[in-house]
Amino acid sequence: MNILGFESSCDETGVAIVNTEKGLLAHALHSQIDMHQAYGGVVPELASRDHIRRVLPLCYDVLKNAGLAVSDIDAVAFTAGPGLSGALLVTASVAQAFAWSHDLPTIPIHHLEGHLLSPMLAPEVPEFPFVALLVSGGHTQLMRVDGVGQYELLGETLDDAAGEAFDKSAKLLGLPYPGGPHLASLAEGGEADRFQLPRPLKHSQDLDFSFSGLKTAVLTTLRKLEAQGAVSEQDRADLAAATQAAIIDVLGYKAIKAMKQSGLKRLVVAGGVGANRQLRDFLDRETQRLGAKVYFPPLALCTDNGAMIAHAAAERIKAGLVDLSARNYSHRIRTRWDLAEL
């Protein structure tokens, strides 16, 4: 079966086609980074309008690149939440209209389930069960995954997500949006040991996270530097390196702790922060010490994309969780949606 998938939960428009037997056939992605940079963050109304402009041309590109006609599509999947309401409505409307016009089944997909299963698009596929670290601009969670649709929340952030900590700290350092990659780049020339930043909740008894205090510590440190005179480029690089080290230390420590508590030997990392090279190196090293293995999605599929949505739909079909005989074209979007509800 060929599954056409749409994603537009925030500031990327993604379309892809996944075959339930052959895997990913084609995908196309448009990022709105350039458009939102002038505002220092995502402007929801602008994001929605840009999704409207991009989604159909991307759909045509994907069909062409896959060498398929519209008649070759067997089902249509789309992100139903969580995300920005206006952005979600764009591809939810397009996907359901497409499916209705061709009498195809629709498959609403949870955005985080798409991320969760995206490492299965890599050449080396993890087997169930595994611990998953979902880490992005809006979400930081640890999950136990026993199969498709079988998710248990182990811990989550109580305030800012790790991606927010990256982005907000980068903004304090005068870096452009999106801040995370720019902070990681600046940190390459810095000394992480120069500034002692806190590791919130690192040694708590649970598997929860907290990053808002770290952002405050970065601001306090920066103000102290400013009070001493002009902040040099080396000062900024050292503070960026310290910030990145603090975030990765907490993420890595809690992920390994979750593996030890669960007794599982496989760790899956997904979401935009999963592209961070320092995080990858840290978890590669620590899982090897544990006699375990860590799996990441391909770098190109760490950010939001249509491939993960189409793939999640394909996995749900193979797991028998989708009624392909049903024809429902009025699925509602959900800006907030607990993954454990699946």
Q: What residue segments make up the domains of the chain, in order of their start?
A: 2-117+301-341, 128-296
- What is the gyration radius of the CA atoms in the chain, in angstroms? 20
Strand partners, 27: 16
Name the token pair of 108.
Answer: 């609403």
Average pLDDT, the chain: 96
Query: Distance between the two ends of the chain, CA-based, in angstroms?
Result: 23
The hierarchical CATH code for the domain 2-117+301-341 is: 3.30.420.40
CA 16, CA 94: separation in Å to the nearest integer?
A: 14
Cis peptide before 82 (omega within 30 of 0): yes
Regarding pTM above 0.75, the answer is yes
Beta bridge partners of 5: 16, 77
pLDDT surpassing 90 at residue 137? no
Return binding residues for Fe cation: 111, 115, 304
Predicted confidence at residue 38, as pLDDT, reads 87
How do beta strands 266-270 and 293-295 pair? Answer: parallel
Topology agreement, domain 2-117+301-341 and domain 128-296: yes
Q: How confident is the model at residue 40 (pLDDT cuts 50, 70, 90)?
A: confident
Q: Give the mean pLDDT of 9-14.
A: 97
Question: Could you tell me which residues are annotated as the binding site?
Answer: 111, 115, 134-138, 167, 180, 276, 304
- Helices 233-262 and 162-172, interaxial angle, to 10°? 170
* In this structure, CATH architecture of domain 128-296: 2-Layer Sandwich (3.30)
List CB contacts of 33: < 8 A, sequence separation 6 or more.
11, 177, 178
Residue 264 reports pLDDT greater than 90: yes
- Binding-site positions for substrate read 134-138, 167, 180, 276
When pLDDT is cut at 50, 70 and 90, the band that residue 71 belongs to is: very high
* Residue 105 banded pLDDT, cuts 50, 70, 90: very high
